[in-house]
Amino acid sequence: MSEIKKTHDLSKIYFIPTNISNSKKKFFATPKQRIKMLEVCLDNKSYIIDDREIARGGISYTFETLSEISSENPNSKLYLILGLDKLNSITEWKDFEKIFEICNIIVSLRYSIDKSNQEPLIHKHLQSLILSNPAIFHRHPYGRIYIEQTSVINISSTEIRRKLRNHASISDLVDPRIEKWLLENKVY
């Protein structure tokens, strides 16, 4: 996240745990545990843990959260930071079009693309919104997508949970602080 913060000169990054996902995603940790995990591993003053979706209760919808943040920060440009997997499913989200009326999207591409092969497949409705020049991207107040090649991260929450259940080390996958907390609290 620090790469994206620095590259795009972001003043704050909100980390907003979902209360109840509107997808089929199942949470293993309670909302309180997910907040605590963020507290354990985020040590940058510009990283803000925002529990609004948990406090609001019910199913979490990104456009509602972005609308609230936009109302609270009327003179700020908003960016939604996603992984490529989430971008490819965004057209299935409730009122996804409204997201593009509120913010730009920065996509963290966390793996290498072999240029001899195809570029990652992007939903056809989104292709025209992608800009490859960051300066032009930032000139748009909303409605655009920028794909940011970030450091390769070989991490999977499924793999972490599997290793923890099998009492295997996760030190190669997570920060030592979160590893210690997960082992002490036996969340998975």
pLDDT tens across 133-176, in order?
999 999 999 999 999 887 766 677 788 888 988 989 898 888 88
Q: So what's the pLDDT on residue 88?
A: 85
- Per-residue exposure over 51-80, b if at least 16 CB sit within 10 Å of its own CB, e if not: bbbbeeeeebbbbbbbbebbeeeeeeebbb
Instruction: Please say if the pLDDT value at position 124 is more than 50.
Output: yes
- Are 182 and 164 in contact by the 8 Å Cβ rule? The answer is yes
Q: Report the C-alpha gap between 90 and 66 in whole angstroms.
A: 14
Name which residue leads in pLDDT, 38 or 43: 38
Q: Quick one: average pLDDT of 58-73?
A: 94
Residue 20: predicted pLDDT:
85
* Mean pLDDT, residues 116-127 taken together: 68
Domain with CATH 3.40.50.620 in the chain: 2-153
Pick one of 3.40.50.170, 3.40.449.10, 3.40.1130.10, 3.40.50.620 as the CATH number of 2-153. 3.40.50.620
First and final CA of the chain: distance in angstroms? 24
